[in-house]
Structure 1
Amino acid sequence: MGQLQQVERYIQEGDVDALGRLIEQLNESTDFDMLYEAAGLLVDYGFMGEADRIYETLLLHLPDEAQLKIDRASTLLELGEEDEALLLLTDVGPDDEEYVQALLALADYYQMSGMAEAALSKIKEAHTLVPYEPVIRFAYAELLLESGKYGEAARLYLDLLEETDEIGGISMVARLAETYSAGAAYEEAIPYYEKMLQDQVLPDILFGAAFAYFQSGNAERAVAHLTDLIEMDPDYFSAYMLAGQSLSVMGEDRQAYDLFKDGIRRDEFDKELRLAAGKSALKLGLPEEAEGHLQEALALDPEYVEPLITLASLYSEGEEDAKLFELLSYTKEEWGDHPLLNAFMAYAYERDEQYDDAYVSYGKAYVGMRDDHGFLESYANFLVEEGKREEALVVVKELVSLVPENEYWRAYLEAQNDEEV
Structure 2
Amino acid sequence: MMPFIRVMENGDIEKLGVMLDAFLLEGDPDEQYELADMLTEYGFVQEALKLLEHLNFIFPEEDQLKIDQAQLYLELNKEDDALEMLSNIEKKSESYPQALLTLADYYQMIGLYEVAEHKINEAIAILPKEPLLQYAKGELLFETGRYLEAARLMEELLASQNELQGVNLPLKVAEIYSAGAAYEEAIPYYTDALKKEAAPEVLFQAAYAFFQARQYETAAKHLNHLLEIDPDFFSGYMLLAETYAMLEKNEEALEAITNGIARDEFEKEYYLFAGKISLKLGRVKEAESFLQQAIALDPEYMDAIYILSSLFSQEEMDEELIELYEALKQEQFEWSSMYPLLAEAYERLEMYEKAYEFYKLAYTEHKEDVAFLEKYLYFLLEEGKREEAKEIISKLQKLQPENSEWFDMME
Q: TM-score, normalised by structure 1?
A: 0.75
Change (3 A) 1:63 1:263: closer
Q: Residues of 1 paired with 2:403 and 2:279: CA distance?
A: 31
Letter in 2 for 1:392: I
Measured against aligned partners, the alpha-carbon deviations of 1:293-333 in whole angstroms (never above 9, x if no partner) come to 11112223333322121111111222333322332332348
Give yes or no for contact 2:123–2:133 (8 Å, CA) kept in 1: no
Partner of 2:388: 388
Partner of 1:137: 134
Measured against aligned partners, the alpha-carbon deviations of 1:22-69 in whole angstroms (never above 9, x if no partner) come to 86x89xxxxxxx989957754543464456567668989999997665
Structure 1, unaligned runs of 5 or more: 27-33, 417-421
Counterpart mapping for 1:349-360 below 5 A: 351=348, 352-353=351-352, 354-355=354-355, 357-360=357-360
Change (3 A) 1:132 1:408: farther
Change (3 A) 1:74 1:194: closer
Give the deviation of 1:133 after TM superposition: 2.0
Q: Residues of 2 paired with 1:183 and 1:309: CA distance?
A: 33
Give yes or no for contact 2:343–2:358 (8 Å, CA) kept in 1: yes
Change (3 A) 1:40 1:394: farther
Counterpart mapping for 1:119-198 below 5 A: 119=113, 121-123=115-117, 125-127=119-121, 129-130=123-124, 131-198=128-195
The reply on whether 1:252 has 2:249 as its aligned counterpart is: yes
Q: Residues of 2 paired with 1:350 and 1:182: CA distance?
A: 51
Between 53-62 and 37-46, the greater mean CA deviation after superposition: 53-62
Change (3 A) 1:39 1:308: same
Q: TM-score, normalised by structure 2?
A: 0.76
Change (3 A) 1:108 1:128: closer
Partner of 1:16: 17
Partner of 1:283: 280
Partner of 2:322: 325
Q: Residues of 1 paired with 2:218 and 2:163: CA distance?
A: 28
Letter in 2 for 1:85: A
Equivalent in 260, 264, 267 of residue 267 of structure 1: 264
Give the deviation of 1:91 after TM superposition: 6.9
Identical aligned pairs, as a percentage?
A: 39
Give the deviation of 1:288 after TM superposition: 0.7
Partner of 1:31: none
Q: Residues of 2 paired with 1:390 and 1:36: CA distance?
A: 95
Between 390-399 and 77-86, the greater mean CA deviation after superposition: 390-399
Partner of 2:112: 118
Give the deviation of 1:103 after TM superposition: 3.5
SS at match of 2:365: helix
The reply on whether 1:45 has 2:46 as its aligned counterpart is: no
The reply on whether 1:311 has 2:305 as its aligned counterpart is: no
Give the deviation of 1:202 after TM superposition: 4.0
Give yes or no for contact 1:376–1:399 (8 Å, CA) kept in 2: no
Measured against aligned partners, the alpha-carbon deviations of 1:56-86 in whole angstroms (never above 9, x if no partner) come to 6898999999766544432222333234434
Partner of 2:82: 85
Between 306-315 and 201-210, the greater mean CA deviation after superposition: 201-210
SS at match of 2:112: helix
Give yes or no for contact 1:120–1:140 (8 Å, CA) kept in 2: no
Change (3 A) 1:189 1:53: closer
Give the deviation of 1:88 after TM superposition: 4.5
Give yes or no for contact 2:33–2:51 (8 Å, CA) kept in 1: yes
SS at match of 2:161: coil
SS at match of 1:45: helix
Between 376-385 and 235-244, the greater mean CA deviation after superposition: 376-385
SS at match of 2:77: coil
Q: Residues of 2 paired with 1:89 and 1:391: CA distance?
A: 78
Change (3 A) 1:212 1:40: closer
Structure 2, unaligned runs of 5 or more: none
Give yes or no for contact 2:184–2:213 (8 Å, CA) kept in 1: yes
Kindly report the root-mean-square deviation, in angstroms, between the aligned alpha carbons of the 2 structures.
4.1
Q: Residues of 1 paired with 2:192 and 2:307: CA distance?
A: 41
Give the deviation of 1:378 after TM superposition: 3.9
Counterpart mapping for 1:180-219 below 5 A: 180-219=177-216
Give the deviation of 1:292 after TM superposition: 0.6
Give yes or no for contact 1:124–1:140 (8 Å, CA) kept in 2: no
Between 331-340 and 152-161, the greater mean CA deviation after superposition: 331-340
Letter in 2 for 1:311: L
Measured against aligned partners, the alpha-carbon deviations of 1:307-364 in whole angstroms (never above 9, x if no partner) come to 1211111112223333223323323488956453344344445553215631453145
Between 291-300 and 72-81, the greater mean CA deviation after superposition: 72-81
Between 190-199 and 39-48, the greater mean CA deviation after superposition: 39-48
Q: Residues of 2 paired with 1:79 and 1:69: CA distance?
A: 15
Letter in 2 for 1:296: Q
Letter in 1 for 2:39: Y
